[in-house]
Chain A
């Protein structure tokens, strides 16, 4: 079974440029999460989707960040314009809505460097 796939793995951009990250969750997983992980810190939730609906986006900086999961499968996280402080790793995770184990499955992350 394929795991959570994220791309790109690494991205270097100039400040004020846009950037987008893509995530394909494990097949059949209804719930998808985007987390932000700063260097040496634990992941912090940005947004959670149940199918195509964003059910928890309270921590998403909506002035510059946006996300979508149009068909309830893969998802895109966008930053426009990027700022120096956005340099971090963006983690995508998925889980099964029907399962009760609570386990999240993570991708390898997308490391963003803003110059």
Chain B
């Protein structure tokens, strides 16, 4: 079974600065999907960014980018120019390409605080 590990329970960043959240995963599959989800205090989780394992290019969405290291099974999220609205729980998640196992497996999350 796949596992996802987020080793940073909490992180703090100054507004306008850059922060990197870490994620590692364990899998024997060669193709898969990786995600970062954001969960603000209201609790509705929203997708931040997605990476397909077969793509070598790192995904980017505005101020959010990932560093995908397939061999190391590492998938970190970089937030540039941090804003107060970025404060939330961030979850890394893995999805198998097997349609029989399409549910996401989540890490334990990292709480990001943004200091004004």
Contacts and interface: CB of A to CB of B under 8 A. Distances in A.
B91 A102 contact: no
A106 B45 contact: yes
A109 B101 contact: no
A-B CB proximity, top 10 nearest: A42-B106, A106-B45, A102-B33, A102-B95, A108-B44, A109-B43, A45-B103, A42-B108, A48-B103, A43-B106
Interface of A: 3, 31, 33, 40-45, 48, 55-56, 89, 91, 93, 95, 101-104, 106-109, 111
Residue in A3, A40, A42, A109 with the greatest tally of chain B CB atoms within 10 Å = A42
Interface of B: 4, 6, 9, 33, 35, 42-47, 50, 91, 93, 95, 100-109
Contacts of A111: 43
A108 B42 contact: yes
Contacts of B46: 106
A95 B63 CA distance: 26
A42 B107 contact: yes
Given A108-B43, A108-B44, 19 more contacts: A31-B102, A33-B103, A42-B4, A42-B107, A43-B91, A45-B103, A48-B102, A48-B103, A55-B100, A56-B103, A89-B43, A91-B43, A93-B45, A101-B50, A103-B35, A103-B47, A104-B47, A107-B44, A108-B42
